[in-house]
Every structure is written in structure tokens, then in C-alpha cells.
């Protein structure tokens, strides 16, 4: 039985089955008799009413369906998701770990995982440089004064890590000294720092656009229940950037940002995304800079840009940044849970708050426009998507280990060692497997480690200066050592999705 109560815009519903009343969005099925197939999924402990002083109860997680076929289909989808979950694969492939003494949401990357992070970083930094970005290095922390100018202190303080005593605590314990004491906080974004760099000199309209990028380490105090693998963490690395431009340059710059993002997503083969146009919520003025006229005009401007670029998008109220509307690139993980991978924002508020200016053609001082943008997103989150996308079989350029050289007997050790050295000097991640095992076993081990190029050296290969290379699809080819090195370089240079020789 369903009861509903309307309060303003919202409807509250509760359901009753016999004695049991559930406050729930529903829907509930009319009769339990409709359920034919059950499966217990897991057990967990839970304190009565969530209070650790109370008795521990057992919570049962189960699922049920109208027939066995639907249940089996669900369980199969769940098994696949579990198998491809980046947290499980991250451990299996030895890419990252978490540690209870280090803390939640603070992943530690192994040497293999670090190779992948650095490879992504090099890929995007080089691409941005070509596209006119210049990178900066700015501090991980700043005085609260800086965040007061940006508005983070007023609108985002709960999400920040404040170091030492807050102003309130200092003025309570040391009222006289409070004025002169510094309160530092770890940065949740890099914008204010790059704005200070922009302000170091005067700019003419001829200097614009200025495109600053930074591979920035950021810190956000996510709630402990929200943390998950590499997707939601407290310290992360963002490919951050700010474009400071004249109003007349805004559309072209935004278009170029979209092109860059499209290129990145295509190269990584993460193409299953959609666009979300995130707007403010006029009822929550504490969450946003309260300037309805500016919100209206900047949302209109962004909508125009999106339409002109022919993007299909969904609109979402209450998802904007506190200083402006944004375009989000949204993707789902293997569990179907959606996250923002990349954002592009138009900012109407911060240029004025920071007093950013340029001298226009007419000799007057004007306020520029700002685009906040990412390009590859948060490296950790993007890596999670890549792990799930490839299930560990990464393309050659991204693979933590690219080439393994296997020998058929000891007599070939020095030749094989020389070859590995040559590969490494050419910039490839190569290693030698000269264990006293059968060749079959060594090939098998390399396949389990998903090494994309498995090279075998026997007397004939040495004699002819050739290599026999096996790829993960089972194909084996023999080619000259020089041709092999050329092919490795080509796979890397073109960020090839498929590894063939």
C-alpha cells in the first residue's frame, strides 16, 4: 500500500506491507509473492540506530527478481563489474594501494602505477604546450587571505584542509596576536595562484589570450563515506589550466578547449561520455556568489557556445561551481556510477575580485574573461577509467612494462642484455627474463602481466639480427631489430590504441 504526502514541490512516500512500514521513494511491488528468485549478496555489521554504544546487528544484503533468468543476468553483470573494478585490478596489476595508517582517500602508487601517471602527464603536458599553454609551478598552500579574495573561504571552507589553528581558535587563545598570525590552508584549486602570476605585470590586449596550465596537486576534504579507490580521493592531481582572454576571444578559446578534450578522450579511447551543462541554484545563495544578473548572462553565454558547437547536453541545476556555470564531461564506471571526468567553466566573478585587467585597443583598462578548464581531468580518476576500460591490457605507449626479452638458453644472455639496454636507451620500458624456466612458461608469465611486446631471442634471431615478437592477441612476427625499434617508436609517438608489429 502506498501513502504519499505533498509538501511544496516535493512528495514524501511510504509503503506498507503487512506490519512493515517503509519510508522510501519506492516503488514497492504489490505482493511479495511476485518474487521468485533470491540471492544473498553479503553480510555486514551495523549498530542499532548507528550508535556504536548500541548492540551490533547483522545487516543482510540480498536481491530478488521475478524469475531466475533475470536474477542470473543481474549476477553475471555484477560479476563482470567486480572483475573489472579498478580497485581490484589496481591491486592485481600492482598499480596502487591504500593503507589504513596513511588514511582514506590517499592512494599510494607503486612504481608500475607511477609510470602510468607520469606517462599521462607527459602526454598532456606536451600536447598543451603545442596548443599554446605555458605551465606554471605554484605552492600547495596559501594564507587564508588568498582564499578570502577568491571566495573559497566563504563558500568552500568545509571542503578545505586548514593547517593549524583557525582564526577563531587563535583569537580565543591569543586575542592580541591574532591579527598577525598566519592561517594556512592546502589548496583546493590553483586558480588564485595563477591569477597572482598574471598580475605580476601589465597586459595589453595584444598579450591575450594568456593560457596557463599546471599539473597541480590539490586537496579536498571529501566526507569519509564518499571515498572510493582512485575516483574520490582527498589528494589528487589535476591537469588544471586558466585562459585569460578578452570577451571577443571567449568563444574561440572555449571551442579550442573542447577540441583538446575531444582529442584527449579519443586518444585514451574513453568515448562513452556525455555533456552536462551545470547551472547554479538560485535558492542556495550561500553556495554561490550571489549575483543573479551575472549568473543569467554567463549561463546564457555558455549555452550559446554549446549550441554553436553543436553539442548535445543535459542541463543540471545546482551543479555549477560557486563562481560560474560549467560544462561537465560525465562518464560511468563499471558499476554504472557516474562521475565528472573533465570540466570547463566560464568565470564572471573572480577576474573582478582579483583585480585582473588588460589595456584594451582604446587605451582603457578592462576586465578580462576567464575559462577554467581541465584537459585530461584528475589523473587518478582518469587512470581508474583507463584501468576499467582496458582491464589491464593497456596500449603500448601507456603500458607500465612495454617489452620483455626472453632467452631460450644461457648462451644468449649477454646478447639479450645488450638488446634490453638498447631498448631502454631508446626510451622504452624493457626488461630481461633469463630465468631458468621453459620458454613456454616465460611467455605465459609475460602474458599474465599483459606485457604488450614479448620478444624471444634464439640462436637464429641473434645470427640474423632479428627479433621474434609476440603480441597479446597471440600473433607472432619476426622482424629486424631496427624495424622493431622503429615500430616501438611509432606506437609511442602516435599513442596507438592497438599494438601490432
Instruction: Between 191 and 334, name the residue whose CB sits nearer to Zn ion.
Output: 191
Please list, in sequence order, all residues whose beta carbon lies within 8 angstroms of the beta carbon of residue 249, skipping any fewer than 6 positions away.
Answer: 208, 209, 369
Numbers of helices and strands, H then E, in the chain: 15, 25
Q: How many residues does the chain have?
A: 501
Provide, rounded to whole angstroms, the least separation between the CB of residue 197 and Zn ion.
13
Instruction: Between 191 and 384, name the residue whose CB sits nearer to Zn ion.
Output: 191
Task: Give the separation between CA 299 and CA 189, rounded to whole angstroms.
Answer: 22
Provide, rounded to whole angstroms, the least separation between the CB of residue 300 and Zn ion.
21
Instruction: Between 191 and 485, name the residue whose CB sits nearer to Zn ion.
Output: 191
E strands of 247-294, at which residues?
273-279
Provide, rounded to whole angstroms, the least separation between the CB of residue 489 and Zn ion.
36
Peptide bond into 27 cis (omega under 30): yes
Provide, rounded to whole angstroms, the least separation between the CB of residue 395 and Zn ion.
31
Q: Which residues bind Zn ion (CB under 5 A)?
A: 189, 191, 372
Provide, rounded to whole angstroms, the least separation between the CB of residue 190 and Zn ion.
6
Instruction: Between 186 and 430, name the residue whose CB sits nearer to Zn ion.
Output: 186
**What is the greatest pairwise CA distance in the chain?**
84
- Bridge partners of residue 442, in order along the sequence: none
Provide, rounded to whole angstroms, the least separation between the CB of residue 142 and Zn ion.
14
C-alpha cell at 271: 568515448
Provide, rounded to whole angstroms, the least separation between the CB of residue 47 and Zn ion.
41
The DSSP secondary-structure symbol of 226 reads: G
Please list, in sequence order, all residues whose beta carbon lies within 8 angstroms of the beta carbon of residue 346, skipping any fewer than 6 positions away.
Answer: 250, 254, 298, 301, 302, 324, 325, 326, 369, 370, 371
Instruction: Between 189 and 329, name the residue whose CB sits nearer to Zn ion.
Output: 189
Instruction: Between 191 and 264, name the residue whose CB sits nearer to Zn ion.
Output: 191
Residue with C-alpha cell 543476468?
73
Residue with C-alpha cell 606554471?
136
User: Euclidean distance between the first and final Cα of the chain, in Å?
Assistant: 65
Instruction: Between 372 and 381, name the residue whose CB sits nearer to Zn ion.
Output: 372
Residue with C-alpha cell 574561440?
252
Amino acid at each position: 500500500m502506498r501513502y504519499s504526502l505533498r509538501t511544496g514541490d516535493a512528495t514524501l512516500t511510504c509503503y506498507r506491507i503487512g506490519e512493515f512500514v517503509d519510508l522510501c521513494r519506492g516503488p514497492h511491488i504489490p505482493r511479495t509473492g511476485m518474487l521468485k528468485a533470491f540471492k544473498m549478496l553479503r553480510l555486514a555489521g551495523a549498530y542499532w540506530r548507528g550508535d556504536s554504544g548500541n548492540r551490533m546487528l547483522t545487516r543482510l544484503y540480498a536481491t530478488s527478481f521475478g524469475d531466475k533468468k533475470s536474477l542470473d543476468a543481474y549476477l553475471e553483470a555484477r560479476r563482470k563489474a567486480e572483475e573489472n573494478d579498478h580497485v581490484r585490478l589496481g591491486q592485481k596489476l600492482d598499480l596502487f594501494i591504500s593503507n589504513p595508517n596513511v588514511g582514506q582517500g590517499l592512494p599510494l602508487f607503486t612504481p608500475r602505477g607511477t609510470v602510468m601517471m607520469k606517462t599521462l602527464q607527459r602526454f598532456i603536458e606536451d600536447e598543451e604546450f603545442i596548443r599554446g599553454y605555458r605551465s606554471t609551478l605554484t605552492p600547495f598552500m596559501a594564507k587564508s587571505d588568498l582564499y578570502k579574495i577568491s571566495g573559497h573561504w566563504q563558500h568552500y571552507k568545509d571542503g578545505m584542509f586548514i593547517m593549524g589553528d583557525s582564526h577563531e581558535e587563535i583569537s580565543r587563545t591569543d586575542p592580541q596576536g591574532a591579527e598577525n598570525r598566519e592561517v594556512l590552508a592546502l589548496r583546493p584549486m590553483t586558480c588564485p595562484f595563477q591569477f597572482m602570476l598574471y598580475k605580476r605585470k601589465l597586459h595589453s590586449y595584444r598579450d591575450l589570450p594568456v593560457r596557463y596550465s599546471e599539473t597541480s596537486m590539490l586537496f579536498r576534504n571529501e566526507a569519509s563515506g564518499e571515498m572510493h579507490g582512485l575516483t574520490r580521493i582527498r589528494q589528487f592531481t589535476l591537469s588544471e589550466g586558466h585562459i585569460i582572454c578578452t570577451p571577443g576571444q571567449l568563444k574561440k578559446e572555449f571551442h579550442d578547449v573542447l577540441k583538446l578534450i575531444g582529442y584527449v578522450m579519443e586518444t585514451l579511447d574513453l568515448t562513452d561520455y556525455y555533456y552536462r551543462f551545470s547551472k547554479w541554484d538560485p535558492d542556495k545563495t550561500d553556495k554561490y556568489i550571489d549575483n543573479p544578473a551575472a549568473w543569467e548572462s554567463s549561463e546564457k553565454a555558455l549555452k550559446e557556445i554549446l549550441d554553436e558547437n553543436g553539442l548535445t547536453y543535459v542541463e543540471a541545476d545546482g551543479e555549477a561551481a560557486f563562481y560560474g556555470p560549467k560544462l561537465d564531461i560525465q562518464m560511468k564506471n563499471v558499476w554504472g556510477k557516474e562521475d565528472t571526468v573533465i570540466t570547463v567553466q566560464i568565470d564572471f566573478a573572480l577576474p573582478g575580485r582579483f583585480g585582473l585587467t588588460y589595456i584594451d585597443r582604446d587605451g582603457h583598462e578592462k576586465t578580462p574573461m576567464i575559462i577554467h578548464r581541465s584537459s585530461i581531468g584528475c589523473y587518478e580518476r582518469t587512470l581508474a577509467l583507463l584501468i576499467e576500460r582496458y582491464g589491464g591490457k593497456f596500449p603500448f605507449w601507456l603500458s607500465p612494462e612495454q617489452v620483455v626479452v626472453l632467452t631460450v638458453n644461457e648462451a644468449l644472455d649477454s646478447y639479450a642484455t645488450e638488446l634490453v639496454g638498447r631498448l631502454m636507451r631508446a626510451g622504452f620500458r624493457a626488461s630481461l627474463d633469463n630465468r631458468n624456466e621453459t620458454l613456454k612458461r616465460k611467455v605465459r608469465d609475460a602474458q599474465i602481466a599483459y606485457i604488450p611486446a614479448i620478444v624471444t631471442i634464439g640462436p637464429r634471431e641473434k645470427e640474423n639480427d632479428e627479433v621474434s615478437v609476440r603480441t597479446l592477441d597471440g600473433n607472432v612476427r619476426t622482424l629486424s631489430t631496427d624495424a622493431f625499434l622503429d615500430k616501438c617508436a611509432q606506437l609511442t609517438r602516435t599513442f596507438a590504441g592497438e599494438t601490432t608489429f
